[in-house]
Structure formats: C-alpha cells, structure tokens
Amino acid sequence: MSIALSLGNNLTTGGIFKPTAVNNTSVNNVTDFAGIAGGGTLELLSTQTASASASISFTSGIDSTYDEYIFKYINIHPSTASYFTFQGSTNGGSSYGVTITSTLFDAYHFESGSAQDLRYLTGGDLAQSTSFQPLTSVTPNTDNDGSYSGTLHLFNPSSTTYVKHFLSNLNVMTDNPASDNSYLSGYFNTTSAINAIQFKFASGNIDDGIIKMYGLVKS
C-alpha cells in the first residue's frame, strides 16, 4: 500500500512518473518482481563447463518444481567434426535412451555469400528412436573460433500423463564456412518422468563450452 501511495504521489498530470518515484526505499520493499509483472522468471539451477569432456549430464534438479526447463549451450567447441546431440533419462541418468519422435530444419548462408537456403533435414529427425537426438545435422567447423550456441526448452518433464515436448534453436559455424541456424522440435514419447538430460557429440569430446540449466518459475 505504501509503495502504491509513493508512486501515486510522484505521478505527473501527464501520466509520467517523476525520477523520485522509484528509489531505494520503494525498491527495498518489493519482494516479488515476477509477481508484479505477472509472469515467471528464470532461476539458474546449474552451470557446467566442458574441458575435453566426453559428455555433460544434468542428473539432479529436474523435477516437478518447474513446468519448463531451459538449457543454454554457449560456445560448445568440438574436438572433431561431429553433431551435437542430447538424450533423456527416466532413471536419474543410469541410462539414456527414451523414445523420441522429432523434426529438424535449418537456414544457412555462406561467408562468401555464394550460397544460402532454407531446408528440411531428414538426417536429423527421429521416428520412434532411442538414439541421441542431433541438435543439428550439419558438420561444424573445428577451427579454434568454431562453436555451437543455442537453447533447448523441455516442457513439464515430470508429468506422468503427457509426452515431454522439446524445442531447440541452435546456431553453428559450419566447415564451409557458413552460419547455420537449426530449428528442432519433438517429444520424448513416454509418460514416465524425465529426470536427467545428457549432451554429447556423436563422436569425439566437447573440447570447451558452457551449458546452463534454468527453471522457469511457475506464474
């Protein structure tokens, strides 16, 4: 109530807040910006950094606390020219191989400007497969400045009623060289809870890079 009165007293006749409307006193009394904004916020749950790593796994923190989990992979550098992939687990990471159905397309543009296209990638989709899901099906550039960066959204992984949908958007510097933006969507075809996620290359190590896991606070 006191915050509302303070803001009201600092409102001009033109409907514009004066600079004194928001100050240390008023901000210190705010306990939930997300609630005031009417939407959820992202909570950083885990950060993992690769260093010649065979894989990166998130085996804790994926539960019913959040309806959506977001993974951000930042400058993932491969040791060899291979696809970056992921899979889920229903047993806390003891094994990975949940049945997936998915679809993948991309848009690319060569550095030289000599070629560009928008296309469906049949080499990256899965149909009721327990294989690791490629996040892109183009060959990456393994030069020192080459890497992957992108985001994976996993929806309601703890549901025991519905399949588990996911969406990914990833950009990679390819070996042409070119910028390639891949769009992936699909679902884990299981009504068991997904409680672990693993990322790895189809072959070779993750030389360098960071993966962060966030939970979207329920609004």
Per-residue tens of pLDDT for the chain, all 219 residues: 554 545 556 555 555 555 555 555 554 555 444 544 445 799 999 999 999 999 999 999 999 999 999 999 999 999 999 999 999 999 999 999 999 999 999 999 999 999 999 999 998 999 999 999 999 998 899 999 999 999 999 999 999 999 999 999 999 999 899 999 999 999 999 999 999 999 999 999 999 999 999 999 986
Contact present, 155 and 195 (Cβ < 8 Å): no
pTM: 0.82
What was the pLDDT predicted at 115? 96
- CATH architecture type of domain 40-216: Sandwich (2.60)
Residues 208, 101: Cα–Cα separation, whole Å: 29
- Phi, psi (deg, nearest 5) at residue 101: -125, 130
Q: Which residue do the tokens 């060959």 mark? A: 139
Nearby residues of 124 by Cβ (< 8 Å), 6 or more positions away: 83, 102, 104, 134, 136, 137, 182, 184
How do the domains of the chain map onto residue ranges? 1-30, 40-216
